[in-house]
Structure 1
Amino acid sequence: MFDISVNLTHIRFSRDRELVINRAIQNNINGMLILGSTIQDSKLAYHIATKYVFCWSSVGVHPHYANLWTKHSSQKISSLIEQNTIKIIILGECGLDYYRNYSTVKEQLYVFNAQLELAAQYNLPVLLHCRNAFNDFTAILKKWIGKIPVSVIHCFSGNTYELETCLDMNLAIGISETFFNKKYRSSSYNDIFLIPQNKLVTGSDSPYLLFKDKYPDIYTTYKGRNEPALLYNLIKKISLYRNEDIYMLQHVTEHNARVLLRI
């Protein structure tokens, strides 16, 4: 299995990060993409990834932190990419988030476009984030489709129209627990059938998205913290909804991630 969204730099992993990685290995995780949410965070993600053969990292600025962008940010990201071409394999997590608006809309729009420009410059796929911002998100992204490699919208939580639009733009669809939680989605779970098998990837978004109402025993055992080791539960749920063999889905989603990330 391949976990395409792990926030392993999060403070909740600071005391036992190595144990978390070992549990992932023991639970058949063959690959992990460690996400950056700021430039400094991306440096740490890269540092962790260099210690493990089966880990890679992203570089980018999450929309929550768009207000930290400066006139030097593009150059700093460029320097990281140019120095670390083996382990830094995707740009992001970047996009728009109008649900929390920790950064202004103007800041988010500017930083999202700037990072797509970098992705085109370096021919990197992009790990995309969109929440409550779909119209602006697609308006910007459509200008860059064709100029950047096939990319992925992670933790997809949109409606049927948004899913079909993303597929029309040739995006891979990253499924996490948000897809099966009504707090995040308003449309039918049957949308899972709309995703072609070769466009489906999975991510835990650890340490987030371990819902107590869905996994009460696991929630208690892991003290509310999601981990890559628990990705099997997500793939099992996908297999039940799609009526597909779980072992086949484990293989297919890992294969898709590796094709997308070119590793």
Structure 2
Amino acid sequence: MIDTHAHLDMLRSEEDLKESVEKLDCIITIGCDKEEIFKAVDIANRYSNVYASVGYHPYDVKGLTDRDIDILEKLAEENKKVVAIGETGLDYYRDITPKKLQWEFFEKQLQLAKKLNLPVIIHSRSANEDTVKILQQHAPFPASGILHCFGGDIPMMEKCVELGFYISFAGNITYPKADSLRAVLKETPLDKLLLETDSPFLSPQKKRGKPNKPSYIFYTLEFASSLLGLTPQELEEITDKNASRLFSIPVRKTVV
């Protein structure tokens, strides 16, 4: 099983990290601020089945300059384990970063992803209309990308799929009040579907209240497969194949 989005540097312990690496076939660990990008690359270089994405979260773009974009570019060019740019995007849920600044560095990271021919991992919260608008302005994206921890509606999903993006769902699809997300999941084309944990955030319902970790992705897999009328094995094969294709990574099957 592939977890396409985790923050491994934020896990509670080294034991949780080792357990995650041992139980999953592959994990994409995300660095999304000036310190975490280096931590993500370091962890990816320590484990054969871990890869990294580097970028700046919209809450962390204050004080950034073009030099920080150059740092991302250098990290990606000098480390083969870097397979994507992001997470980057827009987040209007909290008034932490001016929208103008979010837009500026979202666009710069989109341009960098295209320059490097790497997928881009998109964060969008309470900003779906503007997110789609910017993506449409910068299309096409030859290396594609992900709308991670998708929180939009069916029309947004359809627009993003039309642009070539993959749609990734996290443990919050298991929450009792997440009917709208489950409706989107059911309509998402299987060849554009991915699963993630976003650990240590968004633990699935059966582990809610505890810090999330990549090994909990199997709860989300079981829930989603039942919703789609598939076996967990069938859905795992579908999402793993999608992730492998998107990130151009091999998949080794782990026996747990």
TM-score by length of 1: 0.89
Partner of 1:150: 144
Matched, 1:113 2:107: yes
- For these two proteins, the number of residue pairs brought into alignment is 249
Given that 2:200 and 2:211 are in contact with CA atoms closer than 8 Å, whether structure 1 keeps it comes out as: yes
Cα gap change, 1:188 to 1:202, in 2 (>3 Å): closer
Partner of 2:252: none
The amino acid across from 2:3 in the alignment is D
Q: What is the rounded CA distance, in whole Å, between the counterparts of 1:88 and 1:179 in structure 2?
A: 28
Runs of 4+ in 1 over 4 A off after TM superposition: none
Show the 5 A alignment for 1:118-157.
118-157=112-151
Partner of 2:5: 5
Q: What is the rounded CA distance, in whole Å, between the counterparts of 1:103 and 1:188 in structure 2?
A: 26
Matched, 1:227 2:213: yes
Identical aligned pairs, as a percentage? 27
Given that 2:89 and 2:124 are in contact with CA atoms closer than 8 Å, whether structure 1 keeps it comes out as: yes
Residue 236 of structure 1: CA displacement?
Answer: 0.4
Gaps spanning 5+ residues in structure 1: where?
A: none
Cα gap change, 1:26 to 1:58, in 2 (>3 Å): closer
Cα gap change, 1:168 to 1:182, in 2 (>3 Å): farther
Residue 70 of structure 1: CA displacement?
Answer: 1.6
Cα gap change, 1:257 to 1:159, in 2 (>3 Å): same
Q: What is the rounded CA distance, in whole Å, between the counterparts of 1:251 and 1:53 in structure 2?
A: 20
Matched, 1:249 2:235: yes
- 1:102 partner SS: coil
Residues 45-85 of structure 1: CA deviation (Å, up to 9, x unaligned) = 0001101000000110011101131231121111111211x
Residue 219 of structure 1: CA displacement?
Answer: 4.5
Partner of 2:74: 79
Cα gap change, 1:49 to 1:143, in 2 (>3 Å): same
Q: What is the rounded CA distance, in whole Å, between the counterparts of 1:31 and 1:262 in structure 2?
A: 12
Cα gap change, 1:119 to 1:26, in 2 (>3 Å): closer
Show the 5 A alignment for 1:1-263.
1-10=1-10, 12-13=11-12, 16-17=13-14, 19-27=15-23, 29-84=24-79, 86-181=80-175, 187=180, 189-210=182-203, 214-215=205-206, 218-219=207-208, 224-263=210-249
Q: What is the rounded CA distance, in whole Å, between the counterparts of 1:2 and 1:234 in structure 2?
A: 12
TM-score by length of 2: 0.91
The amino acid across from 1:137 in the alignment is T
Q: What is the rounded CA distance, in whole Å, between the counterparts of 1:5 and 1:101 in structure 2?
A: 25
